Amino acid sequence: MSGTEIEHLIRLIARLPGLGPRSARRAVLTLLKRRDQLLKPLIDTMIDVASKVKTCSVCGNYDSVDPCTICTDINRNFSIVCVVEDVASLWAMERSRLFRGCYHVLGGVLSALDGVGPNDLTIDSLVVRAESIIVNEVILAMAATVDGQTTAHYLVDRLSECHVSISCLAQGVPIGGELDYLDDGTIGVALRARQPFI
């Protein structure tokens, strides 16, 4: 191909999730074609992000201020802490615009296979937060996977002394889900957790 810089950029872009060498090449060609509209703004924004964005020392969210805008928003209810696996889950919760409490980012889930133990996650600081008199409910919003649910059970154990009520997200048929396409596990869960029709 042409130019070691170009090849280097393709290799770096191909390391982003969801991109392979082919889509990285397309991305680089688009960047080269649209230097002023795309490549230069992208460089400037990346420099901005690299220098300004930090991890919130309270909840673990990414923001340009510490504590983050969520942790300092006086319209939020700081008595409810929603525990999420990672910042991606936090952003997903925020997009739903339904939760007005605050968050705690664990930084992953317990996983024997990947060698992730309790000390690799921010569990101690969660317990400290749950012990404070401000907090009275902890919502466990882990993924409905084996590792996610194992982590949730472990957290329930660890939070048992904290005098907070602990809840978790409901499991069942997702909105728009057709029974024919759902796995047996989901149907079983939805059946066991059936609710009176309103």
Distance between CA 51 and CA 70 in Å, rounded?
Answer: 20
Do the strands 62-63 and 54-55 form a parallel or antiparallel pair, or are they unpaired?
antiparallel
Distance between CA 41 and CA 167 in Å, rounded?
Answer: 43
Residue 31, CB half-sphere, CA atoms under 13 Å: how many? 15
Span from 17-25, 119-127, 129-137, 155-163 in contact with a copy of itself (CB under 8 A):
17-25
23 versus 136: smaller Cβ distance to a copy of itself: 23
Q: For residues 110 and 151, is the Cβ–Cβ distance under 8 A?
A: yes
Instruction: State the minimum distance, in angstroms, from the CB of residue 59 to a copy of itself.
Output: 10
For residue 79, give both structure tokens.
């008595």
Tell me: does residue 12 bind a copy of itself (CB under 8 A).
yes
Distance between CA 109 and CA 145 in Å, rounded?
Answer: 10
Tell me: does residue 6 bind a copy of itself (CB under 8 A).
yes
Span from 7-15, 114-122, 138-146, 147-155 in contact with a copy of itself (CB under 8 A):
7-15
Tell me: does residue 39 bind a copy of itself (CB under 8 A).
yes
Q: Before 67, cis peptide (omega within 30)?
A: yes
Q: Which of 69, 132, 160, 165 binds a copy of itself (CB under 8 A)?
A: 69
For residue 157, give both structure tokens.
């154990």
Instruction: State the minimum distance, in angstroms, from the CB of residue 87 to a copy of itself.
Output: 6
Name the residues that contact a copy of itself, by CB under 8 A.
Answer: 1-6, 8-9, 12-13, 15-19, 23, 25-32, 35, 38-43, 45-50, 52-53, 61-64, 68-70, 86-88, 91, 94-95
